[in-house]
Chain A
Amino acid sequence: MKVIIDGKDVELQEQKTILKVAEEIGIEIPTLCHHDGLSSYGSCRLCIVEITNNGNTEIDTACTRSVEDGMEIKTATERLTEERKLIAELLLAQAPESEKLKASLSKLGVQESRFEAREDSDCIVCGRCVRACKEEVGAGAITFVGRGYKTKVDTPFSINSDVCIGCTACAEVCPTGAITVEDEEAMRYIRYFNTELELAECAECGKYINPKRMIEKLKKEDFAYYPEENFELCEACRRNKEMNKFADKFLEAK
Chain B
Amino acid sequence: MTTCQCGDLEENKEKYLAPLKEILENYDQKEEDLIPVLQDAQEEYGYLPKVVLREIADSLDIFFSDVYGVTTFYSQFHLEPRGENVIKVCLGTACHVRGGARILERLQDELGIADGETTEDLKFTLESVACIGACGLAPVMMINDDTHGLLTPGEVPKILDQYNQG
Contact = CB atoms under 8 A, between A and B. Distances in A.
A156 B53 contact: yes
B64 A163 contact: yes
A152 to B, nearest CB: 10
Interface stretch (B22-30, B66-74, B99-107): B66-74
Interface string B42-70: 00000000100100000000011111110
A27 B138 CA distance: 58
Contacts of A147: 72-75
A143 B65 contact: yes
Nearest to A134: B63
B63 A145 contact: no
B81 to A, nearest CB: 15
A227 interface: no
A143 B50 contact: no
Interface string A130-148: 0000100000111111110
Q: Is the interface of B mostly helix, strand, loop or mixed?
A: helix
A165 to B, nearest CB: 13
A225 interface: no
B64 A146 contact: no
Contacts of B53: 156
Contacts of B66: 134, 140, 143
Q: Interface range on chain A: under 10, 10 to 19, 20 to 34, or 35 or more?
A: 10 to 19
Nearest to A146: B72
Contacts of B74: 147
Given A156-B53, A157-B50, A145 B68 contact: yes
A156 B64 contact: yes
Given A134-B63, A140-B64, A156-B64, A145 B50 contact: no
Contact of A145 (B64, B72, B75): B72
Nearest to A145: B72
A41 to B, nearest CB: 15
A49 to B, nearest CB: 30
A84 B154 CA distance: 53
Contact of B73 (A140, A142, A146, A155): A146
Interface in A182-224: none
Interface of B: 50, 53, 63-69, 72-75, 79
Interface of A: 134, 140-147, 155-157, 163
The 5 A-B residue pairs whose C-beta atoms are closest, nearest first, are A140-B63, A156-B68, A143-B69, A143-B65, A145-B72
20 contacts: A134-B63, A134-B65, A140-B65, A140-B66, A141-B65, A142-B65, A143-B63, A143-B65, A143-B66, A145-B69, A145-B72, A146-B73, A147-B74, A147-B75, A156-B50, A156-B64, A156-B65, A156-B68, A157-B50, A163-B65
